[in-house]
Amino acid sequence: MTVAIGTKIKSKGKFLGTVLALVSGVTKDLTAAMSLTVGGVLMTRAAILAKLAGIQALFDDVATTHNAWQAAVKRKDDGAEEGKQFVADLKKAVESQFGPRSARLLDFGLSLPKVRAPRTAAEKATSAGLGQQTRKVRGTKGKKQRLAVTVAGKPGVQLLGPDGKPLAGVEGLGAPVAPAQLSGAPSSSDGGSSGK
């Protein structure tokens, strides 16, 4: 069998089987005094066996390395859960030590919590109006009663200024609702504040 240098052996198991069979045949049928011309080189039985042993060692090294790699992967996988728990506990301890908003957390690779932007007056008014409309439509309900509600959709809200006209540049949610339908809507007499 002639194999060009750099050519991949397609069936490594079959090739290794051939090598082992050759070792067996050379050991059994060649005497120490015999020699063979292999690839244009005269080789003794010992040289042939040494060359075959070197080829077999290449395969053995791969198998040993592969088994060691598999064992290392298993150790990593087994220790990963414990490692994740330790890292989570350490993060909590560092936050506890320096405070959840401390700039020192950045030194540990921890991110600071995002500061929630305060809601605008328009957003608060829209939420209040929607809540009032929803309660008006559905009534006051407990947890179990709310589960029975099957009506889809949301009531609409239109934000009005103290003069009773829609606010420019402020979008409400849903379709506009007439001011008379909003209970507790700000009126021009109290300056637009609901006291909340």
Span 6-46, pLDDT tens digits: 445 566 778 888 888 898 888 888 888 888 888 898 988 89
* Range name among 13-22, 95-104, 119-128, 179-188 with the lowest pLDDT average: 179-188
The gap from C-alpha 13 to its chain's centroid, in whole angstroms, comes to 38
pTM above 0.75, yes or no: no
The ranges assigned to domains in the chain are: 12-108
Strands annotated E in the chain: 35-38, 41-44
Contact 173, 165 (CB under 8 A): no
Position 116 pLDDT exceeds 50: yes
Predicted local confidence at residue 173, as pLDDT: 52
